[in-house]
């Protein structure tokens, strides 16, 4: 259950201003938290913090317990003495409004290598690093997977030599010895990532703000998760996925979405009490205060597509583990602070599962203007307050872009419903979200900034030009801060302090 009458901003850390081409956990992240506090905001919602995969997507990660190391702040490494001021002088002239991924990776990789070499000379590094490694049992498999992947030319997992793909001790022993320093380097990066993140999280909580993280239901087939835990998935005799995930045709795509993620063998997982999932939830709840489960409906039924299919049309619905899955995990971890992403094709069975668990669902205001006054996504039709309302999400167009690209009848109904001209549509929709009965209202930072379609985060069904959105340092000025603070006050959504994290 979320707190009553609160508001939040959706902004992935990679979108924050930074001189190093990608948002990180440095000074600008702390400045953003200060902005949230001064604006009366209670929640900072982010996307998965995991390493990105195909198309630079955080939803195709190669490690669901690991962190995206490119969020590590070089400035904080410099403060530790691992980089010098000279090494950080004159960074490349990066685009301030879009991540240039390859340029960023090349630049930061060089910095990280230098920082790693410096860490070896720090007598105060050994004990905390050893403690981190011993407390994170996922780290050995992830670091080895990363080192092996680089060593064999970043081939996808299904093309790995069989001895390595099968993860046998005999097949791995000589590689572990040969790649010893590279494996330690990968662990070092995870140590720095988590160290910087937890310090930032403590600062967030001290300001009376909670972090909403994001837990994708599926993992990538090209991941340490699949490599080290094949017994958890539906697979063929060769150990390859026999079926993959996606969704049938919907609002986003006429042929559905073929995500390609391997599907879980929930029957096998049930036998050990969903141990891997329990560990995954525990890890996420140490990093975040609340977790949004992406594609929650997959726990009731999931779209199973043969692995050789070219589109998602050939799939079928298969029953998921249901309430028993969550009951088992909650027996171990206690009540889960969860937001259930219940968008797309939602059946009464999915709704019942969410309601039986007491998890709030999601309402997207953009969707409300597609079907007229009876739409369940319009505030006057919200069934209860245990709801999180968004103008849009990372998968939607910005509000300005959505309005501009909508048919005239939709724009006309929008103006009538809001009783506005449409000239300031982003803030008109923000006001509607804040005024709604939903306990929680979340606004993407692009809508806060009144940005158009060229600034959207992701276009589902496409692999290019996604996940790279950034905004400039001066964008969040006093006028925006005062405006959102006023709406927080006007609609009773002001923030209150929370207890500091003891992580």
Is 396's pLDDT higher than 50? Answer: yes
Residue 3: pLDDT band with limits 50, 70, 90:
confident
374-388, pLDDT tens digit by residue?
999 999 999 999 999
Q: Decide if 340 contacts 362 (C-beta within 8 A).
A: yes
Q: Distance between CA 29 and CA 197 in Å, rounded?
A: 10
If one compares 464 and 304, the residue with the highest pLDDT of the two is 304
The active-site residue out of 395, 428, 439, 447 is: 395
**Phi-psi sector, 100: left (phi>0), alpha (psi -120 to 50), beta:** beta
- Quick check: is 55 in a domain? yes
- Quick check: is 142 in a domain? no
- Quick check: is 441 in a domain? yes
The active-site residue out of 75, 146, 225, 294 is: 294
Enumerate residues 6+ apart whose C-beta is below 8 A from 230.
239
- Quick check: is 23 in a domain? yes
- The runs of H, that is alpha helices, within 207-307 are 224-228, 266-271, 275-287
- Quick check: is 178 in a domain? no
- Quick check: is 138 in a domain? no
pLDDT more than 70, % of the chain = 98
Global pTM value: 0.95
Q: Distance between CA 165 and CA 437 in Å, rounded?
A: 51
- Quick check: is 227 in a domain? yes
Which residue range forms the structural domain that includes residue 287? Answer: 6-125+211-490
45-102, pLDDT tens digit by residue?
999 999 999 999 999 999 999 999 999 999 999 999 999 999 999 999 999 999 999 9
Q: Decide if 7 contacts 488 (C-beta within 8 A).
A: yes
* pLDDT for the residue numbered 344: 84
* pLDDT for the residue numbered 252: 66
Sheet holding 387-390, edge to edge: 338-340, 290-294, 210-216, 43-45, 6-10, 440-444, 387-390, 361-364
3-state secondary structure at position 127 = helix
Residue 170: pLDDT band with limits 50, 70, 90:
confident
Residue 255: pLDDT band with limits 50, 70, 90:
confident
Let me know if 395 is a catalytic residue: yes
CA torsion sign for 342, 345, 350, 352 is positive
Question: Mean pLDDT throughout 321-326?
Answer: 98
Q: Distance between CA 37 and CA 209 in Å, rounded?
A: 7
Is 354's pLDDT higher than 90? Answer: yes
Looking at the 3D structure of the chain, how many domains does it have?
1
Eight-state DSSP code of residue 46: -
> Nearest 5°: CA angle at 86, between 85 and 92?
100
* pLDDT for the residue numbered 485: 95
CA torsion sign for 227, 230, 232, 234 is positive
Q: Distance between CA 286 and CA 283 in Å, rounded?
A: 5
* pLDDT for the residue numbered 497: 45
Let me know if 502 is a catalytic residue: no
Residues written for the chain: 503
- Quick check: is 253 in a domain? yes
Q: Please, what's the b/e burial string for 143-169 (b: 16 or more CB within 10 A of its CB; e: otherwise)?
A: bbbbbbbeeeeeeebeebeeebbebee
| Cα-trace Rg, the chain | 23
Question: Mean pLDDT throughout 22-30?
Answer: 98
Residue among 495, 365, 369 nearest 433 (CA): 365
Question: Mean pLDDT throughout 306-313?
Answer: 93
Is 501's pLDDT higher than 50? Answer: no
* pLDDT for the residue numbered 196: 98
The whole-chain average pLDDT of the chain stands at 95
* pLDDT for the residue numbered 349: 97
Residue among 263, 287, 270 nearest 327 (CA): 270
Read off the tokens for 57.
């997507």
* pLDDT for the residue numbered 249: 83
The active-site residue out of 75, 146, 300, 341 is: 341
CA distances from 319 to 175, 229, 287, 351 (A): 41, 22, 30, 15
The CATH number for 243's domain is 3.20.20.80
Please name the helix (run of DSSP H) or strand (run of DSSP E) that holds residue 216, with its range, or none: strand 210-216
Let me know if 452 is a catalytic residue: no
Q: Decide if 467 contacts 99 (C-beta within 8 A).
A: yes
């Amino acid at each position: 259950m979320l707190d009553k009458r609160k508001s939040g901003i959706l902004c992935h850390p990679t979108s924050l201003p930074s001189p190093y081409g990608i948002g990180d956990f440095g000074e600008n992240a702390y400045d953003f938290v200060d902005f949230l506090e001064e604006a009366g905001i209670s929640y900072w919602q982010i996307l998965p913090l995991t390493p990105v995969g195909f198309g630079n997507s955080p939803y195709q990660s190669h490690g669901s317990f690991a962190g995206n190391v490119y969020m590590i702040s070089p400035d904080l490494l410099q403060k530790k003495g691992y980089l010098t001021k000279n090494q950080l002088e004159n960074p490349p002239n990066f685009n301030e409004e879009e991540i240039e991924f390859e340029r960023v990776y090349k630049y930061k990789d060089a910095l990280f290598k230098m920082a790693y070499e410096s860490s070896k000379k720090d007598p105060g590094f050994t004990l905390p690093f050893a403690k981190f490694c011993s407390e994170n049992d996922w780290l050995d498999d992830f670091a080895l997977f990363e080192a092996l992947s680089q060593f064999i030319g970043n081939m996808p997992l299904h093309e790995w030599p069989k001895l390595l793909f099968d993860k046998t001790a005999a097949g791995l022993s000589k590689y572990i010895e040969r790649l010893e320093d590279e494996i330690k380097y990968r662990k070092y990066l995870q140590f720095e990532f988590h160290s910087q993140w937890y310090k930032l999280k403590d600062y967030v909580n001290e300001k009376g703000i909670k972090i909403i993280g994001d837990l994708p239901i599926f993992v990538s087939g090209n991941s340490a998760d699949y490599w080290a835990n094949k017994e958890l998935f539906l697979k063929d005799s060769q150990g390859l996925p026999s079926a993959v995930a996606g969704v049938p045709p919907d609002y986003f795509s006429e042929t559905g979405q073929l995500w390609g993620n391997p599907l879980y063998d929930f029957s096998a997982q049930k036998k050990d009490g969903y141990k891997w999932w329990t560990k995954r939830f525990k890890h996420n709840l140490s990093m975040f205060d609340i977790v949004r489960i992406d594609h929650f409906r997959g726990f009731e039924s999931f779209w199973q597509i043969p692995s050789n299919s070219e589109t998602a049309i050939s799939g079928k619905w298969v029953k998921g583990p249901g309430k028993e899955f969550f009951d088992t995990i909650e027996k171990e971890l206690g009540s889960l602070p969860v937001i259930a992403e219940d968008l797309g094709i939602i059946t009464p069975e999915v709704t019942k599962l969410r309601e039986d668990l007491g998890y709030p669902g999601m309402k997207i205001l953009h969707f409300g203007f597609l079907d007229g006054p009876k739409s369940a996504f319009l505030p006057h039709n919200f069934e209860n307050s245990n709801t999180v309302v968004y103008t849009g999400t990372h998968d939607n167009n910005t509000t300005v872009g959505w309005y501009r690209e909508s048919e005239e009848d939709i724009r006309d109904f929008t103006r009538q419903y809001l009783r506005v001209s449409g000239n300031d549509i982003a803030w008109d929709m923000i006001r509607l979200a804040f005024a709604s009965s939903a306990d929680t209202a979340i606004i993407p930072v692009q809508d806060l900034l009144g940005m158009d379609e060229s600034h959207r985060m992701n276009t589902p069904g496409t692999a290019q030009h996604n996940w790279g959105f950034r905004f400039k340092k001066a964008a969040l000025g006093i006028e925006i801060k005062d405006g959102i603070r006023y709406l927080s006050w006007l609609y009773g959504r002001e923030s209150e302090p929370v207890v500091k994290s003891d992580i």
